[in-house]
Amino acid sequence: MNSLPGRAALSLVFAGSPGRPAGAVPVDGASLRAVRVCHSGTSRQGSTTTKKRGYDITRNPHLNKGMAFTLEERLQLGIHGLLPPCFLSQDVQVLRVMKSYETRADPLDKYILLMTLQDRNEKLFYRLLTSDIEEFMPIVYTPTVGLACQQYGHAFRRPRGLFITIHDRGHIATMLNSWPEADIKVHTHTHTHTQLLMAGKLNSAALGIAHLLMMAMAKEGISREEAAKRIWMVDSKGLIVKGRGNLNHEKQEFAHDHPHIKTLEEVVATVKPTAIIGVAAVAGAFTEKIIKDMASFNERPIIFALSNPTSKAECTAEQCYQLTEGRGIFASGSPFDKVTMADGRTFVPGQGNNAYVFPGVALGVIACGVRHISDDIFLTTAEAIAGMVTEENLAEGRLYPPLNSIREVSFKIAVKIVNYAYKNNMASLYPEPKDKEAFVLSHIYSPDYDSFALDTYSWPQEAMNVQDV
C-alpha cells in the first residue's frame, strides 16, 4: 500500500464501515485489513536526524509525522506521552484526512482544511495531494486560491512566505535575513504563418507569451521582424498600431502599420487571426460574435482564455466548444469541467497553467546548478510538455497531459533541461552525470516519511569495564 489513490482509499473505508452509504464498493476482507492495518508508518525512503526534541518536533511541519512516529522514535525524540498511544501508517492518515475532506462541500472550507494540514504535517499534505492531483489541485491552486486571497482574513491560519512591499525598497536584504531557512533552492514571486492576437493589458504575462512565441517562430526559421508582424496586440485603448500616442518601447515592437481599431470584436473581424489569447482578466471579453467569427475563418480556431480565476476568464470552455461546433482548440488559466456536445462527443479543456512548468523547471535547474534561467529554458520546457501529449489526449481536446501525470511530466521536463544545460555549458555542477534520468530521480522530493535514525553501537567489552573502588 505505497500509494493508494485518495478516492479509492475512501471507498474502502466506507465499504468497511457499519453504516456505509448505498452503492459503496464491496471489498474483500484482505483488502479491508490492508487499509486498516496499523503499523510504524515509516518508509525506507530514507533516514534523517535532528537536534530538536519534544514539542519542537511535533510543532514543526517539516519534521512532524503525527501518530506515525514509532515508539523508538518517540522515546529518542522526547515526544513519548505527547502523542496519543497509537501508531498509524501514513496510508491510514491519508484516509482519515480524506474522510474529513469529503464532509466539506465548500471549496474554501476544503482549502482551509488542507492549509491547516500543511501547517501541521508537510509530508502528509503532499502525500495527500499526490494521491489525487486532479481533485486537489483546483482547491490548493486556481481557482480556489483566488477566492482564498479575496477572503484572506477569513482563511488566515498562520503567515506563509515572505511579504515584501514597495515601502521596503532598499532593505530587502535585511528582510531576507529574517527567513528561517538557510538553504534556499528556489523562490517564486507573484504580483500581479499564423496570425496571433493578444488581448490584454500588455502586462508581463502578455509580453512574455509574445516573446516566447517569437522565439519559437525563430527556431522554425522565421526572422524576429517577420514574427512580430504575425502578432497583434490589443490593450484597453484598442489595437496597438504605429502613430498611436504614448506607446512604450515594448509596445512599439508589436505596433502595426494599420488604422486604429478600438474594439476587440472589430479587431478580430478585420485581422482574422488563427489564434486569440486572453490575459486581460476581463470576463466575457471573447463574445459570442468573436468566437463565431473565429470559427468562420478557421477550420480549427485556437481560443485561449488564460485569465485567472475562473470568474475572470474571457470565455468558458462550453462557449468555445458549442459556438465552434467542437472545432475550437481551447485552453484556460483555471480549470473547467468536461463539455459534452449534443452529438455525444466529450472534450476535456486544457489548463494552460504554470503548474505544468515550474516544478519541472525548478527540479532541472537545481539538479545541475543552472545559474541563469534563460527564455530558452522555458521554450525547451514547452517543447517537452508538447511532446508528452498523446494522440488520445488530442482526440479528447486535451492540449496538455492529464494533471494526474504531473509528477511524470515534471520529471521528463527536468531531464530535458539537464540535458540542455550540460550541452550548452549552462550547468555548474560537475562531473556531468552519465545517466541523466537516474541523476534527476535522485533529486525528486518524496512525500513518504523518513525514519529518524538512532546511531547506536557498542564498544568492545574490555573498553566498557566499570572501574570500581
Active site residue 141: yes
| Angle of CA points 239, 241, 246, to nearest 5° | 95
Grid cell locating 137: 489541485
Q: Strand order in 196-199's β-sheet?
A: 238-239, 231-235, 196-199, 275-278, 302-305, 329-332, 350-351
Q: Residue 296, exposed/middle/buried by CB under 10 A (0-12, 13-18, 19+)?
A: exposed
Q: Which three cell numbers stand for residue 99?
A: 474522510
For 366, half-sphere exposure in the C-beta direction (CA atoms, 13 angstrom radius) is 19
Q: Are 349 and 339 in contact (CB under 8 A)?
A: yes
Q: Are the beta carbons of 24 and 11 closer than 8 angstroms?
A: yes
Say whether 64 counts as a known binding-site residue.
Answer: no
Q: How far, in Å, CA of 334 to CA of 141, rounded?
A: 9
Going by their DSSP bridges, the two strands 275-278 and 196-199 should be labelled as parallel
Catalytic residue among 111, 141, 400, 449: 141
298 carries a ligand binding annotation: no
Query: Phi and psi for 334 in degrees, rounded to 5?
Result: -110, 160
E-only strand ranges, 248-373? 275-278, 302-305, 329-332, 339-340, 346-347, 350-351
Rounded-to-5 percentages of helix, strand, coil across the chain: 45, 5, 45
The burial of 60, by beta-carbon neighbours within 10 Å (0-12 exposed, 13-18 middle, 19 or more buried), is given as: middle
The verdict on whether 201 is a catalytic residue reads yes
Measured between its terminal Cα atoms, the distance across the chain in Å is 58
Residues labelled as active-site residues: 141, 201
Please give the annotated binding residues, written as ranges: 308, 353
Q: Residues forming the annotated binding site for (S)-malate?
A: 308, 353
